[in-house]
Amino acid sequence: MVAVTDVDRWAPGRVPAGRLVRGVQERAARAFPPVVQERADGWWLRHADGSAWWASSVLPHGDAAPADLPGRVRSAEEFYARHGSPARFQISPGACSTGLDEALGRRGYRVDSPMSLRWAPTAHVLERLGQGDLPVHVDESATDAWFGAWLAVHGIGDDPAPERALLRRVDRRTAYASVLAGTDVIAVGRAVSETGWAGVFGMATLPHARGRGAARRVLAALAGWAAAHGAARMYLQVECHNTAAGRLYERAGFRELCRYHYRVKRPAS
């Protein structure tokens, strides 16, 4: 993991990109804590029943010699088989074992969910977004209205309990922002602060409320909370195909740190 002093002094070119990516993504992993986690020579094996799939993936951040990769991958596959789910690996440039992506491809893993990891100075986000006119509340825990709006956009399956349980497992300082239209919550997002960084997660706007600046207001509120709690830098992860969200984050000053993807084990035929 990146040392706090390295991250806090970071500027382009001063901390190796792989170390920076690794540190940010490990912060993101702690913002989505799994039910079960094991460490295996630096690899984080993570599993969470029924909740966000990115809480159920391997962070292969420890170095491994190419000759060791088959055994390490088999051990990870056995971990996920014990928990009844397919193995999934997060593949980031400079932040995972050399040759792993190619090795997984040879084992029949498919590429999935291309993502963009972005960062911005918190002060720049505040300057670019301003305050806006829509009323917003920021709470320390997820209210029923916050969770209901998030679930309406991102919910998967019939049982929301695992997603609620995931939020309760977060043990870092967290903010839940809700934008209102009258008494109705129309857009939400959350931020998790750790050692000078605030990660942005769970951005969601109800379909009928899009195009009114609600997501922009959520992001500005989370940036204000981050600044108030000593987080000078922000990061977020966005699907590469989500062009609307990408435009918002670009306008807010977020720059791409890297692109990454997942490798998912194909089911046996």
Closest CA to 181 of 212, 224, 203: 212
pLDDT at 254 > cutoff 80: yes
pLDDT at 16 > cutoff 80: no
- In percent, the amount of the chain with pLDDT more than 70 equals 90
Structure-model confidence comparison of residues 202 and 2, the more confident one:
202
Q: For 84-103, how does the pLDDT look when each residue is reduced to its tens digit (9 = 90+)?
A: 999 999 999 878 888 899 99
**Residue 213: Cβ within 10 Å count:** 18
**Residue 12: Cβ within 10 Å count:** 9
> pLDDT grade, residue 155 (50/70/90)?
confident
Separation between Cα atoms, residue 160 and residue 175, nearest integer Å: 20
